[in-house]
Chain A
C-alpha cells in the first residue's frame, strides 16, 4: 500500500530535550516536506527536499533541522525543543513533476512542556 509513515504519532517532551520525528514513504517520490499545523494558521512549510542530499528552508524553519540521506526517509529534528514548537506536524511526499498531488502522513502531535 502506498503510504507516508510518520512516527511517533504522539509525543510529549520537555524543553531542550532533542527529539526526532521520522518520516518514510514507499512511493519513490523525489519531493518530501514537513509542515506544522496550528489553529488559524493552516499548514506552514518547515523544510522541503527535492531529492537525496538536497534540502531547503520553507516558511518557518527556525528551530528545526532535516536530512535526506535516502530517498524514502526525511526525518525532522528538533535539537532543543521549546513550547512554541507544540503543534501538529505532517510529513508529505510527491513526485517532483508538476500536476501531481502530495500525500500526507498521519501526523505527529507534539507537546513541549
Chain B
C-alpha cells in the first residue's frame, strides 16, 4: 500500500534551535517529493525535490531527497516563532497526483 510517513508528529523547540523534519515514502510511480507549510489555513508550497542528493534552499529552510532510501528531510535553522506551523510532506505520482503525510506540528517558543 502506498504511504507517506512523517516524523516526529509534533515538536516543540525554542527560538534559535535547528530542527529536522523527516518524511519517508513508499509510492508506486513516484515522481517528486513536495514540502508544504500550513499555518492557520491553506498549505503553502515550500519545495519540490525530484533528484536525489541535490539540496534545495530558501533562507533558513533547506531540504534534500534520497531516492535510494526513499526519504526526505526538511531542515530549519535558527527557528523563529513565525516558523510555528504544520509541515506537510507529499509524494507525487502518476500524472500529477499526491499522497500526503499526516504532517509534523512545529511549535517555536520564544
Contact = CB atoms under 8 A, between A and B. Distances in A.
A98 B41 contact: no
In terms of DSSP, what is the predominant structure of the interface of chain B? Answer: strand
Chain B interface residue bracket vs A: 20 to 34
B61 interface: no
B95 A104 contact: no
Given A35-B100, A41-B102, A42-B102, A98 B95 contact: yes
B64 interface: no
A42 B96 contact: no
24 contacts: A31-B95, A31-B96, A33-B98, A42-B88, A42-B103, A43-B43, A43-B88, A44-B100, A45-B97, A45-B98, A50-B95, A90-B43, A94-B96, A95-B96, A98-B32, A98-B92, A98-B95, A100-B96, A102-B34, A102-B98, A104-B43, A104-B44, A105-B42, A106-B42
Interface of B: 9, 31-32, 34, 36, 41-45, 48, 50, 88, 90, 92, 95-98, 100-103
A101 B48 contact: yes
